[in-house]
Amino acid sequence: MSMSLEDLSRKMKEIDFAMLATHTGDGAIGSRPMSNNREVDYDGSAWFFTEETTLMVSDIKADPAVNLSYQGKSGLLGQRPFFLAVEGTAMLIRDKDQFEAHWTKGLERWWPQGPQTPGLVLIQVIGERAHYWDGEEEGELLLEGAH
């Protein structure tokens, strides 16, 4: 049985963090944990706040191809692992209206000044393909045009 985008979104609400992987300037792959906002329904795009000065922003400017990976639980009593890898393109957004639209209360922990924080950047990862492993089942979903 293959999963729909709605199925993936439901499973992602149980996952605290995603790993965002970028291509670094020297050709390596850099990964860092990003908060997976469980208050948001996944529609093929993922949104993350960061700061302009991070290496991640420099990496995305040079090469916007990224990967998001998630790990959660699935199945009976949550015993089987659930994995999700999303290939996509990252966009760097500096529009304060977009900050307001994607801001949630818990973000004040990192940015007490809220959406008005100097140097704040919003990353939109536009998913193109999602590959999932749900216990012994696996599948792929093309996300282009889903968002």
Following DSSP, what letter does each residue of 17-70 receive, concatenated?
EEEEEEE-TTS-EEEEEEE--TTS--SSEEEEEEETTSHHHHHHHH--EEEEEE
How is the chain split into domains, by residue range? 5-142
Given the candidates 2.60.40.10, 2.30.110.10, 3.30.70.560, 1.10.8.50, the CATH classification of the domain at 5-142 is 2.30.110.10
Q: How confident is the model at residue 147 (pLDDT cuts 50, 70, 90)?
A: low
Q: Is the pLDDT of residue 34 over 80?
A: yes
pLDDT at 74: 65
Tokens of 13: 């609400």
CB 67 within 8 A of CB 46: no
At 37 the pLDDT is 72
Does residue 43 have a pLDDT over 70?
A: yes
Read off φ and ψ for residue 42, nearest 5 degrees.
-75, 125
Mean pLDDT (the chain) is 89
pLDDT of the residue at 145: 57
pLDDT band at 112; cut points 50, 70, 90 = very high
Q: State the pTM of this model.
A: 0.89
